[in-house]
Amino acid sequence: MRTFPRHPFDPISDGDKLKEECGVFGVIGVAEAANFVALGLHALQHRGQEAGGIVSYDPEHGFNSARRFGYVRDNFTKASLMETLPGELAIGHVRYSTAGSKGHTAIRDVQPFFGEFSMGGAAIAHNGNITNAAALRRELIERGSIFQSSSDSECIIHLMARSIQKNIPERVKDALRRVEGAFSVIAMTRTKLIGVRDALGVRPLVLGRIGDDGYVLSSETCALDIIGAEFVREIEPGEMVVISKGELESSRPFAPAKPRFCIFEHVYFSRPDSILGGRSVYETRRQIGVELAREAPIDADLVCPVPDSGTPAAIGFSQESGIPFAMGIVRNQYMGRTFIEPTEQIRNMGVRLKLNVNRALIKGKRVILVDDSVVRGTTSRKIKDMILDAGAAEVHFRIASPPTAWPCFYGVDTPDRGKLLAATMSEDEMRDWIGVDSLRFISLDGLYRAAGEARGRNPDAPQYCDACFSGEYPVAPSDQIEKGFQMKAAE
């Protein structure tokens, strides 16, 4: 979902954390479905914090929608708003926008998108990124389509409008067969809830049951828990489900392909209390720490996570190494984006607004810091300075993912390749630039082992999408290649 830049002041990320761009959630067959969607979106807030939207359908009132900037809790908990979204069928979306686009954020870019067709209205919400969106957009505009947003996801609605199929589900199939890249899509008509994953299954989508006749579609299982829904199964790569009240039909609209689920969902994007591919995300991250301790041991006094995403890996590292685990860095959970006016002085405080060092614990200690990733390295340098200022004797970084050397084009907000530290420096050079005593990343094989692949990565047929680490893109990013992006040369 390619759109506009995030809020200019986000002191914890500083453009130095990869951002999953969105989460989707839909419910059918329960009274006040929009309220359930709001709860589900709240549980998926980590997947998108800039804006959210809900569309509902009620036979008496028809389709209704609400789109708002900000957190779900600040918008979709107000009775006055939720009363405008009646019905037993609703879908919703939370999003980040990407840093690569130009312009000002507009409410028209907030999903779900809605369209009226000859056979009735339909709304869609999309998690992922369409890699041929620019070419599709040019073609559609030349044929008379009028776009209302800058989002690549809107292409799907226009492709549906041009389809000659007689019903909405078949038009969804038609549209998505033209789309390249990664997509988990949920859609709704007046009577049906639809879920689709691309043939590679890059982005997640799961199915749940609620009540006697209700079904739920969600980006993650953690959002099923918040509404008391029962997890049924994952929507399979290349599968489309069409759900009416109490009934579900499954089909396979795309050519078969070997799945390539995004491995970074295991590392960072998904909530640790979610289940991916039958595996606990928390357990996978803990196992990453175990593998790190085996691959990159170091003599030290404390293992400290960089909160919060580094915590499970730090626990695993501590358990495997025998070095005590400690909360050497504490996060201020209550510092929001509207804390105070972001003056230049406040900007310079950077991560100190959200992270603080436990000085009594750190002083005089040799500290291992475990973080999920290094993107540009700027946050790592600031955290290192904070630890040294607190009197640490040594600072060692252990990173729970391989070096991020390539941008993602499948629904993750990634800097241009030239801004990725690992694209221009070796591991030793990164260590010296960050200014730590040692720096080690988990190997790609180690990451695969932690994710349940005992033999590591199959180089001839990788089990996951790991393009951000390997440079091997399972779907050629045609729009980016057209702009001059250089793919990795075949070895």
- 461-476 pLDDT, tens digit per residue, is 999 999 999 999 999 9
pLDDT of 28 strictly over 60? yes
User: What mean pLDDT do residues 94-114 have?
Assistant: 73
The fraction of the chain above a pLDDT of 70, given in percent, is 90
pLDDT tens, residue by residue, 322-340: 999 999 999 887 654 434 4
Confidence (pLDDT) at 16: 67
Q: Which of these is catalytic: 22, 262, 465, 468?
A: 22
User: What mean pLDDT do residues 40-51 have?
Assistant: 95
Domains and CATH numbers, the chain: 19-259 (3.60.20.10), 281-454 (3.40.50.2020)
Confidence (pLDDT) at 342: 47
**Mean of pLDDT over the chain:** 90
pLDDT of 1 strictly over 80? no
The fraction of the chain above a pLDDT of 90, given in percent, is 85
pTM for the model stands at 0.91
Q: Print the SS3 string covering the chain.
A: CCCCCCCCCCCCCCCCCCEECEEEEEEECCCCHHHHHHHHHHHCHHHCCCEEEEEEEECCCEEEEEEEECCHHHHCCCHHHHCCCCCCEEEEEEECCCCCCCCCCCHHHCCCEEEEECCEEEEEEEEEEECCHHHHHHHHHHCCCCCCCCCCCHHHHHHHHHCCCCCHHHHHHHHHHCCCEEEEEEEECCCCEEEEECCCCCCCCEEEEECCCEEEEECCCHHHHHCCCEEEEECCCCCEEEEECCEEEEECCCCCCCCCEECHHHHHHCCCCCEECCEEHHHHHHHHHHHHHHHCCCCCCEEEECCCCCHHHHHHHHHHHCCCECCCEEECCCCCCCCCCCCHHHHHHHHHHCEEECHHHHCCCEEEEEECCCCCCHHHHHHHHHHHHCCCCEEEEEECCCCCCCCCCCCEECCCHHHCHHHHCCHHHHHHHHCCCEEEECCHHHHHHHCCCCCCCCCCCCCEECHHHHCCCCCCCHHHHHCCCCCCCCC
Confidence (pLDDT) at 12: 40
pLDDT of 271 strictly over 60? yes
408 is catalytic: no
